[in-house]
Amino acid sequence: MQQLSLLLTSLPDGILLGFVYGLAAMGLTLIWGVMNVINLSHGPIIALGMFGTFFLFIRLGLNPYFGLFVIALLGLLLGILIYAAAVHRVINAPHLSSLLATFSVNMIIIGLGTAIFTTSPYNVDFNMGSFQIGSVTLLGTRLIAALVAILYTGALYLFLYKTRPGKYIRAVANNRAAAELMGIPSTRILALSFGLGTMLAAVSGALIATFFPFNILSGGSYELKSFVIGVLGGLGNPIGALLGGLILGILEGIIPAFMETSWVPAIEFALFVAILLVRPTGLFGAKR
Amino acid sequence: MALLEINDLSSGYGELQILWGAGLRLESGKLTALVGSNGAGKTTLLRTLMGLVRPWGGAISFDGQTITSLSAHAKADLGLALVPEGRQLFTDMTVYENLELGAAAQRGRPHFKRNIERVFEILPRLKERVNQKAGTMSGGEQQMLAVARGIMAEPRILMFDELSLGLSPILTLSLFETLRKLKSEGLTMLLVEQNVHMALAVSDYAFVLSEGRVTIEGEARALAQNPEVRKAYLGI
């Protein structure tokens, strides 16, 4: 009985969080799927999104949800910059080169972030109230974060499948040389894709900051979750990433009702390995 | 003056030089063939011409303009279109999307409606498959789509790399019939083929590439009678 009431509080929370995990993972899997680069600076970029909310809200007094637009734009530009500075040169090199390049970016952001912000926790004191449905309480900030994540997923899906630049991204992901032959400037498209990937990471961080304290290292755990979700949902597929995030969120909602919370990562990564062994293409049948 | 002229072109991959000063000319409105045995450098020549492989030396001029080192997408925007070897379709995307992307270059975009109707008229099979993923079609249908994608670009020069490779004789004939149709509309084309017999039969002028150089050139009909060509490439 006690477990049931625990479940009733943790499961809805887990589900709402799951959507935000999905959004973060979308950023990782978009880049991975389009250019076969595993972006190891994903975590710190999520953390930068968190600091973005902090500065826009605490220092400039901008509403965090309005600030999302600013953070999205900055995230896009940062991604294009990272692509041009660190990724472009090694895009055709073996995987190890791009791993090292994005890992360097990861270290640079963490180093600068630690120097500037220290590693003590920051907190955005922002309250959107809560909603009571029966015996279930939903925090306003989490509910809105989940809705924003769903909106972004829908928007990304429409962008990739219905617009010209989106189709160019899919074409370059599918066959870069052929895309060039069709007149598609593939380097610009790759830079745009990387920008979109970091934009999604930054926005997810901005949303997480509205309900969890954070520091410059906080992105790391979301980066790891993004890997698990990428494997669950397949690469470069926004809907798959959202569903993968939801599965992870549900697990995180259920596990604490039956065992210590510290078991959560162990179970998540056991799942990760199991899926890699059994269905390496992802649960929702994406490519590769 | 030739519409496209390649002079003394050399290129290769890494340390390996493939082209050793190859040259050819494409006359406006003509169907030109580039033939040669496997490994002669035909595909490398096309890839260098299109900018997918960086030229090491030599010059490429198109319509009086030097375009030697332009990127592939810039060349596509000028109106050079290649139907590449092995088709290189966007296999995860639908037939319709492949055709849309075929018209991504500057010249293709404004004529999308007209060209897609034309493509469906010439290759009606594609119309039945518009919403199917390109990778799930048969080899022959995929080759039709690759040709159609080339037409969608509204190209000034349309090039084909091994159009007939792996296709049934009937399908090859029907695709060559498509080429004839395009030629009657005045399109300039370059046909790169291992199937020398077929290539010489449909083209106006031909170049023979051997070990990275053009060794023989002439009217296609004359080349088909040339004893050297007959012995080396036609097996007669």
- Give the largest CA-CA distance in chain B: 49
Give the separation between CA A90 and CA A87, rounded to whole angstroms: 6
Check: pTM over 0.90? Answer yes or no: yes
**The pLDDT of residue A288:** 43
Angle at B112 between CA B111 and CA B117, to 5 degrees: 105
Contacts of B52 in chain A (CB under 8 A): 177, 180-181
* A59 CB-contact burial (10 Å; exposed 0-12 / middle 13-18 / buried 19+): exposed
Cβ contacts (< 8 Å) between B134 and chain A: which residues? none
Chain B interface includes A183 (CB < 8 A): yes
Mutate to test the interface with A, among B52, B71, B73, B93 (most CBs of A within 10 A): B73
In a domain, residue A55? The reply is yes
Q: Does B234 touch chain A (CB under 8 A)?
A: no
Whether A220 is in a domain gets the answer: yes
Q: What pLDDT, on a 0 to 100 scale, did the predictor assign at position A84?
A: 98
Residues 6+ apart with CB under 8 A from B76: A180, A181, A182, A183, B50, B104, B105, B153
Interchain contact, A167 vs B93, CB within 8 Å = yes
Residue labelled with tokens 């909310």? A53
Inter-chain residue contact B104 with A184, CB threshold 8 Å: yes
Per-residue pLDDT tens digits of chain B, which is 236 residues long: 799 999 999 999 999 999 999 999 999 999 999 999 888 999 999 999 999 999 999 999 999 999 999 999 999 999 999 999 999 999 999 999 999 999 999 999 999 999 999 999 999 999 999 999 999 999 999 999 999 999 999 999 999 999 988 888 899 999 999 999 999 999 999 999 988 988 999 999 999 999 999 999 999 999 999 998 888 887 76
Domain count, chain A: 1
Give the separation between CA A214 and CA A209, rounded to whole angstroms. 7
Chain A, 82 to 141: residues with Cβ < 8 Å from chain B are none
Closest to A184 (Cβ–Cβ): which among B73, B84, B93? B73
For chain B, say whether A189 makes contact (Cβ under 8 Å): no
User: In chain B, where do the E strands start and end?
Assistant: 4-13, 16-26, 31-35, 57-62, 65-66, 80-83, 157-161, 188-193, 205-210, 213-219
Q: Give 3-state DSSP helix, strand, coil % of chain B, rounded to 5.
A: 40, 25, 30
Domains of chain B from N-terminus onward: 1-79+157-168+186-236 (3.40.50.300), 90-155 (no CATH)
3-state secondary structure of B84: coil
Chain B CB within 8 Å of residue A186 CB: yes
Cα B118 off chain centre by: 19
Q: How many angstroms separate the CA of residue A188 from the nearest CA in chain B?
A: 11
Domain housing A210: 2-125+134-278
3 state DSSP class of B93: coil
- Round to whole Å and give the CA distance between A117 and B199: 69
Domain of residue A154, CATH code: 1.10.3470
Q: Which residue of A has its CA nearest to B149?
A: A182
- Has residue A286 been placed in a domain? no
ipTM score assigned to the predicted complex: 0.94
